[in-house]
Structures are given as C-alpha cells and as structure tokens.
C-alpha cells in the first residue's frame, strides 16, 4: 500500500520534472533520432539484421532509428567511423564477427590498427549461426573422415573457396584444416555469392558457409553438407554432426551479428540501449523477420555477450595466427 503510493508519487514527480526540464535540456536520452551504422553494403547479414532491429527498437526508444550503410575495406571503414564517433549513444554499430579479426590482421601486417576491439562496448548479441561444411553432390566424400583421409593422401590438391582472404569463410575453414592437420588450397573470391558460384560451377571442391545461404541448394540436392561448426547440432540440420562430436574440440565458429556502442558512451545510456534492445530482440516481429532469413535470433545481453565475444575472439585470433601472412 505504502510502497505503491511512494511509487505513484515518484512517477508524478518524475513526470513533472521531465516535463519541466524537457523544454531546455536534451539530457534525457534519447531526445533525437539514432543512427545505426552498418559497415557493409545493403543486402548482407548485418544489413538484414539491422533493419528489422531498427524498426523494433523505435517503439522502445521512442525515437526513429536510421540504418546507415558505410561499406568499405571489408567493414573497416564503417567500424572505424563508429569507433571514433561521438560517444553519446546516438551512434550505434551493428557488426559481424569480423570485428575481432580486422585489428589482428592489421598487426599481422605491421600496420597501425584502424580501430581496436576495446573501442567498443557490447550492447547485445542478436544472432549466431555456426557455418557448415559444404561439398558438391558429385564429390566422393560423404563424411569429414573421407575428406580428411583424401586430403592427407594428396595435400594441397583439394580446393576451397572463401569470401576473401581472412574473411569469415576463410577463417572457419582454416580453423578446421589446422585442427585436422591437412592442407587444402585456398581460392579467395570477392564475397559469399562468388564463393558459392565457384563451388556450384565445379571450380572448387568445398567451402564453409552459413546454413541460410545453402538452404535452397540443399533442398534441390545440388550440394551435400558434411559437418557443422557449432557447439551443438543445428535444428534445421539434425543429422549433420558437429566438428566437436567428430573429435575436433577446438573447431567452433559462428557468423554472428551484434550491436555495439563507442567505448566512452555513458553507462546509463548503455543501460537504456541494452534494455530497449532486449525488448526489441525478443519481439515477435523481429523474430519473424529473422526466421524468414533462416537466421534464428540468438540474444545475449551486454555482459553475457562480452563473455561470448571474448571466447570467440580468442578462437579467431588463434586461427588468424595459424594462417599467418598469406604469401
């Protein structure tokens, strides 16, 4: 009884105070539209995650959220832009796992880092899909064991395509070949689409890719899936074993998308962003949008996401160092 009265008084007080102060002070975050930077061109995973998220965030932040595509240099341009933007909570970044890779590649080549992972504070993880190992239906291998045995017989003969050197699909594959102690020949292409084209055209023998990209090919029977990089099997591919099951405990890789803010963003603003994102990510409309893309929502709040991110980054950095400088 008493408690609720205090609460009521509080609400009225805050309401009046907010009403009075709202006129001259813009300190009640958010008081103007936000921009969500996507460091990739429209149509990719990051863009297709960011757009429905932006729509779902608006009712909770009570402000419009505009998606801004800043593509370039594999995402480095947009991520650097977000890293140095004003840390006032009005600029957020929707980035992929490659956010951990870029600084490491920069150090590998001895050039100044375009940004650091510590430039960002994580707000939420939105989805995390393990990649799957795909071969053509004509391929002689029906299991990872077949592939590894064949690759050991003829090292550096079996070819795989990727989305680009040190790109997502390259790092995943390198993780596997390194753990299995085999050598396969890497053919980088200009993106996920061309990598798929190279496989379907028979110019390469295998590649690693997100399950949503090959879903329709799999249905038509043009490709086979041998294994999955996740910690557990995919719901959509229950018969496909994980690398961990197959005896490669270190082979775990996810294509994930998360929301970040610049490091110096005030904690109370980050808190508002986290709470709004929690509601938005668990809303029915966002879930439907993600299910349509065959990329189910996998939500983690800031601190949990930080743990996930640290573990993931450690795996990626290890893989990058194993690849080394490509000559």
Number of residues that bind another protein (CB under 8 A): 61
**Cα dihedral 7/9/15/21 (nearest 10):** -120
Name the residue nearer to another protein (CB basis): 113 or 306.
Answer: 113
- Dist CA 96 CA 127 (whole Å): 10
Where on the phi/psi map is residue 105: left (φ > 0), alpha (ψ -120 to 50), or beta? alpha
113 belongs to the binding site for another protein (CB under 8 A): no
- Dist CA 53 CA 289 (whole Å): 9
Task: Pick one of 150, 294, 298, 313: the residue that binds another protein (CB under 8 A).
Answer: 294
Task: Pick one of 15, 59, 201, 249: the residue that binds another protein (CB under 8 A).
Answer: 201
Name the residue nearer to another protein (CB basis): 87 or 167.
Answer: 167
CB of 175 to another protein, least distance (A): 17
Name the residue nearer to another protein (CB basis): 270 or 316.
Answer: 316
CA distances from 205 to 5, 24, 42 (A): 70, 64, 29
84 belongs to the binding site for another protein (CB under 8 A): no
111 belongs to the binding site for another protein (CB under 8 A): yes
**Secondary structure (3-state) at 10:** helix
Of residues 22-41, those binding another protein (CB under 8 A): 41
Helices and strands (H, E) in the chain, number of each type:
11, 11
| Stretch touching another protein by CB under 8 A, among 12-20, 134-142, 219-227, 243-251 | 219-227
135 belongs to the binding site for another protein (CB under 8 A): no
- Dist CA 155 CA 176 (whole Å): 15
Task: Pick one of 40, 70, 184, 276: the residue that binds another protein (CB under 8 A).
Answer: 70
Residue 8: Cβ-neighbour burial (10 angstroms; 0-12, 13-18, 19+):
exposed
Name the residue nearer to another protein (CB basis): 89 or 167.
Answer: 167
Which tokens hold the place of 118? 């510590």
287 belongs to the binding site for another protein (CB under 8 A): no
Residue with tokens 């890789």: 253
| Stretch touching another protein by CB under 8 A, among 144-152, 213-221, 233-241, 275-283 | 213-221
CB of 95 to another protein, least distance (A): 15
- Dist CA 258 CA 286 (whole Å): 14
Name the residue nearer to another protein (CB basis): 4 or 327.
Answer: 327
- Dist CA 257 CA 124 (whole Å): 9
- Dist CA 58 CA 67 (whole Å): 12
Mode of pairing for the β-strands spanning 185-188 and 159-162? parallel
Residue 58: Cβ-neighbour burial (10 angstroms; 0-12, 13-18, 19+):
middle
136 belongs to the binding site for another protein (CB under 8 A): no
- Dist CA 152 CA 149 (whole Å): 5
158 belongs to the binding site for another protein (CB under 8 A): no
CB of 101 to another protein, least distance (A): 10
Name the residue nearer to another protein (CB basis): 251 or 289.
Answer: 289
Whether the CA torsion 232, 236, 237, 238 is positive or negative: it is positive
107 belongs to the binding site for another protein (CB under 8 A): no
224 belongs to the binding site for another protein (CB under 8 A): no
Name the residue nearer to another protein (CB basis): 47 or 119.
Answer: 47
Q: Which residues pair with 36 in a beta bridge?
A: 67, 92
241 belongs to the binding site for another protein (CB under 8 A): no
Contact footprint for another protein (CB under 8 A): 41-44, 47-48, 51-52, 67-74, 76-77, 80, 105, 109, 111-112, 114, 156, 159, 164-166, 185-191, 193-194, 196-198, 200-204, 212, 215-217, 219-220, 222, 289, 291-294, 325-327
């Amino acid at each position: 009884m008493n408690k609720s009265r205090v609460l009521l008084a509080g609400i009225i007080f805050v309401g009046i105070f907010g009403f009075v102060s709202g006129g001259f002070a813009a300190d009640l975050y958010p008081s103007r539209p936000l921009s969500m930077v996507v460091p990739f061109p429209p149509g990719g995973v990051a863009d297709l995650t960011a757009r429905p998220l932006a729509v779902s965030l608006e009712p909770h932040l009570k402000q419009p959220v505009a998606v801004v595509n800043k593509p370039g240099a594999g995402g480095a341009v947009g991520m650097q832009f977000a890293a140095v933007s004003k840390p006032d909570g009005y600029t957020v970044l929707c980035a992929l796992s490659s956010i951990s890779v870029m600084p490491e590649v920069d150090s590998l080549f001895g050039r100044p880092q375009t940004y650091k992972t510590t430039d960002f504070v994580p707000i939420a993880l939105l989805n995390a899909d393990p990649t799957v190992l795909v071969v053509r239906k004509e391929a002689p291998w029906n299991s990872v064991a077949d592939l590894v045995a064949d690759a050991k017989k003829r090292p550096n003969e079996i070819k795989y395509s990727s989305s680009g050197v040190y790109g997502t699909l390259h790092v995943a594959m390198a993780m596997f070949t390194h753990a299995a102690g085999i050598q396969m020949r890497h053919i980088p292409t200009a993106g996920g689409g061309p990598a798929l084209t190279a496989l379907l055209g028979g110019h390469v023998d295998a590649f690693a890719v997100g399950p949503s990209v090959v879903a329709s090919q799999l249905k038509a029977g043009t490709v086979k899936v041998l294994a999955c990089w996740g910690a557990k099997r995919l719901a959509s591919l229950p018969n496909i074993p994980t690398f961990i099951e197959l005896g490669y405990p270190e082979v775990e890789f996810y294509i994930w998308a998360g929301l970040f803010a610049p490091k110096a963003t005030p904690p109370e603003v980050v808190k508002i962003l986290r709470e709004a994102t929690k509601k938005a990510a668990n809303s029915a409309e966002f879930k439907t949008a993600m299910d349509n893309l065959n990329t189910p929502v996998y939500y983690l709040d800031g601190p949990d996401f930080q743990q996930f991110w640290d573990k993931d980054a450690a795996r990626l950095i290890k893989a990058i160092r194993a690849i080394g400088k490509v000559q």
